[in-house]
Structure 1
Amino acid sequence: MKRIQRTTALLFTTLALGALSGCGAPAPIEGCEAVGDIQPHCQMQAPEDIAALNDGRYLLLAHFGGMDEGAGSISLFDTQTAQRKPLFPSATAAGPAQELWGDASCTTPPGEAFSPHGTHLHQLDDGQWRYLVVNHGSREAVELFELDNAGGDSTLRWRGCVFAAPDTFMNDVVGLDNGDVIYTRMFKTGGGWELVKSLAGIPSGDVWRWNQDTGLRVLPGTEAAQPNGIEISEDNRHVFANMYLEKEVWKLDADTGEVLATASLSNADNSAWGTDGRLWIASHTSVLELIACFEVKEQPCGAAFEIIALDPEDMSTEVLFAWEGAPMGAATVAVPQNGRVYMGSFAGDRLVSVPDFTAQ
Structure 2
Amino acid sequence: MPAFYLARRLAISDVSVLDKPGITLHWKCRMKPNLLNWTTVRRISVIFVLGLMFGFADPAIAVAPRDAAPPSCNPVGPISPICGVHGPEDIEQTPDGRHLVMSELPEHFDHPARGLVLMDLATDHVASLPISSKFEAGWGDPSCIAPPAQIGSHGIHLSTRSDGRLELLVVNHAQRESIEALELIRDGTGYAAIWHGCVVNPDGLMNSVSATFDGGFVATVMLDKTTAARKDALDVMVSGADTGYLVEWHPDAGLVRLPNSEAPMNNGIQILSTSPRFIYFNAWTGKQVRKYDRQAHRVTDLADLTFHPDNLRVRADGKLIVTGIDELQSWKACSLRQGEFCRTGFTAVTLDPDTMAAAPLYHGEPGVLAGASVGVQEGNTLYVGSFMGDRLLKIDLSAYR
Give TM-score scaled by structure 1 length.
Answer: 0.90
2:264 partner SS: coil
Is contact 1:35–1:327 with CA below 8 Å preserved after alignment?
A: no
Q: Quote how far apart the aligned CAs of 1:18 are.
A: 4.5
**Letter of the structure 1 residue corresponding to residue 309 of structure 2:** A
Is contact 2:346–2:366 with CA below 8 Å preserved after alignment?
A: no
Report the equivalent of 2:12. Answer: none
Which runs of no fewer than 5 residues in structure 2 stay unpaired? 1-37
1:180 and 2:180 are equivalent in the alignment: no
Which range moved further: 189-198 or 238-247? 189-198
Q: 1:85 aligns with which of 104, 108, 127?
A: 127
1:130-145 correspondence runs (5 A): 130-145=167-182
Q: Quote how far apart the aligned CAs of 1:298 are.
A: 9.0
**Letter of the structure 1 residue corresponding to residue 224 of structure 2:** K
Report the equivalent of 2:288. Answer: 248
Is contact 2:177–2:205 with CA below 8 Å preserved after alignment?
A: yes
Which runs of no fewer than 5 residues in structure 1 stay unpaired? none
Q: Within 2, Cα distance between the matches of 1:32 and 1:123?
A: 35
Q: Deviations over 1:213-238 (max 9, x none)?
A: 11121111001111000011122221
Percent identity between matched residues is: 30
1:1-360 correspondence runs (5 A): 1-11=38-48, 12-18=50-56, 22=60, 27-66=68-107, 68-72=109-113, 73-88=115-130, 90=131, 93-96=132-135, 98-112=136-150, 114-149=151-186, 152-164=189-201, 166-190=202-226, 191=228, 193-194=232-233, 197-235=236-274, 236-265=276-305, 266-295=307-336, 299-337=340-378, 339-356=380-397, 360=401
Q: Quote how far apart the aligned CAs of 1:256 are.
A: 4.6
Q: Deviations over 1:138-172 (max 9, x none)?
A: 000000001111783311000100111x3200000
Q: Within 1, Cα distance between the matches of 2:239 and 2:313?
A: 28
2:41 partner SS: helix
Is contact 2:309–2:323 with CA below 8 Å preserved after alignment?
A: yes
Distance 1:230 1:195, change over 3 A: farther
Q: Within 2, Cα distance between the matches of 1:212 and 1:244?
A: 30
Is contact 2:218–2:249 with CA below 8 Å preserved after alignment?
A: yes
Q: Within 2, Cα distance between the matches of 1:313 and 1:152?
A: 38
Query: Which one has the largest radius of gyration?
Result: 2
Q: Quote how far apart the aligned CAs of 1:129 are.
A: 0.7
**Letter of the structure 1 residue corresponding to residue 219 of structure 2:** Y
Q: Quote how far apart the aligned CAs of 1:357 are.
A: 6.7
Q: Deviations over 1:159-205 (max 9, x none)?
A: 100111x3200000000221111000100234365465234311111
Q: Quote how far apart the aligned CAs of 1:47 are.
A: 0.6
Q: Within 1, Cα distance between the matches of 2:261 and 2:388?
A: 29
Q: How many residues are treated as equivalent by the alignment?
A: 354
Distance 1:252 1:76, change over 3 A: same
Q: Quote how far apart the aligned CAs of 1:15 are.
A: 3.5
**Letter of the structure 1 residue corresponding to residue 239 of structure 2:** A
